[in-house]
Amino acid sequence: MDKIVIYGGKKLKGEVVISGSKNSTLPIMFAALLTDEPVTITNVPSLIDVDTTIAFLNFVGKKTVKEGSIVKIYSSCKYKHVAPYDLVRKMRASILVMGPLLARLSKVDVPLPGGCAIGARPVDIHLDAFKKLGVEILVESGYLKTFVKNELKGTTINFKFPSVGATENVLLATVLIKGKTTIVNAACEPEVEDLASVLNKMGAKVTGAGTNRIVIEGVDTLHGFSHEVIPDRIEAATYIIAAAITKGEVVLKKVISHHLKAVSDKLKKSGLCIKEREDTIFVKWVGNLKSQNISTGVYPGFPTDVQAQWMVLMCLLEGKSRVKEEVFENRFLHVAELKRLGANISMDGKFVNIEGVKKFSGAPVMISDLRAGAALVLAGLVADGKTTISRVYHLDRGYDMFESKLKKLGADIKRIHSL
C-alpha cells in the first residue's frame, strides 16, 4: 500500500484552490437516478468515493463518465434494484441509493454500508423515516431488503437527530411521491442545501433547505440538470489550520467563507489573522496563538470533520485545552497516533484533554479514518525529522490532490507507491 513521507519544519505559503465538496457531490450524483434525462455535474473532486459512486451508478443502470472535474450521467438500461456488496462496503454514502430507487422502483436491496471506522453510525434514522413513508423493511443475510406494498405517501417525519444522510435520503425519496412531506429537525448543512438546489432545478418543489424544517411537495416527473458543486468547507478548514500550525501565510481560492464561520471564529479568537473576501480567504500567522476549547456539533456548530485537525493545533499551543466530541462516539482514534509523535493528551469519554507541547517528533503512524489522516498529515508538517504515514487510501476518499497542493505551498511531502 502507498505511504506518505513528510519532513517537517516548512512554513506553508502561497495559494490553494479548494476543490468541490465530496459530501455534496455524492448525493447529487445519486439524484441522477431520479431522471432519465442527461445530467452534467461540474467542480467534481477526484476522489475514490466519486469513482465508487460512478461504478455504483453504472452497475444499477446509468452510463456515467468523468472527464477532469466534470461528470456526465445518462440513462443506459432498466435500473437494477439490488446494490452490489463489493461497492457498498467501501462507502457509507451508498445508503443514499435507497431514496431514489424506492421512488423509481418501489423496492431496493442494499447491503449494510461501510466507510470510515468512526463509530456505529447507525442507519436506523433512515429506516425509521422510510417506514413512516410506507416502506416495508427486512434484514436478511446482511442486506436491507426494502419494498413498498401499496404506494409511498407524504407525511411528517420528525428526526431524533438531524442526520445529514437521512435528511438527504428522505429528500431523494419524497420528491416523486404523492402529497406533502415535512422533515422536522432536518440537517441544516450546506451540502443539504446544495442537494435541494439540484432537486429544484430538476423540477422538484423543496422549500426550507438550510433550516431545520424542510417541506417537499411531490411532483410526477423530474428532468435533467447541470450543476456546479459547492466548495469543500472541510478541505478549506484543513488548509486554514495547516497554515496556522506551520506559522504560514496561505490564500484560499474558491471558497464560501460563511460555511466556515464556526472554525474561523475560533481561530480568530485564538489570534490567527483571517480575512474573508467574497470567494477568497486570507490566512496569516502573526504571533503565538492561544488555546481554545471546542465542542463539535451539527451545522452551524463546529464540524466533527474538523475535530482531529483542530486537535493537532491545540497540541502545539501553550496551555491546556479540551475537545468534546458530540456527533460520533468513536472519533478519537487519532489520539494514540498523535501520542506517538509526542502529543500530551488523554481521553475521558466524550472529552480529550490536551496540554500543549513545544514540538512533535517524526515517527511512523497509521491512518484510521479520513479526517484522522488529515490530522496526521498536518502533524507531520511540523514534526522534527521524518514522519511516515501508512494506510493513506483513507485520504484518497476525501482530499483531492492533497500532497500536490501541500507541496505547492512549500511542504516537503511525497507519496511512495508500493505494489
Dist CA 261 CA 189 (whole Å): 13
CB-based contact 311:238 (threshold 8 Å)? no
Q: Which amino acid is at 87?
A: L
Closest Cα to residue 267, out of 302, 233, 305?
302
CB-based contact 105:82 (threshold 8 Å)? no
Residues involved in catalysis: 116
Burial class (CB in 10 A: 0-12, 13-18, 19+), 78: exposed
Give the list of residues 6+ apart from residue 349 with CB closer than 8 angstroms, or none.
none
Pairing of strands 156-158, 180-184: parallel
Scanning the structure block, which residue is given the C-alpha cell 476549547? Answer: 293
Copy the grid coordinates of residue 261.
Answer: 464561520
Dist CA 192 CA 62 (whole Å): 23
Dist CA 82 CA 343 (whole Å): 46
Copy the grid coordinates of residue 44.
Answer: 467534481
Sheet containing strand 70-75, strands side by side: 62-67, 70-75, 39-42, 225-228
Q: How distant is the alpha carbon of residue 411 from its chain centre?
A: 24
Give the list of residues 6+ apart from residue 187 with CB closer than 8 angstroms, or none.
162, 163, 164, 166, 167, 168, 298, 299
Q: How distant is the alpha carbon of residue 209 from its chain centre?
A: 18
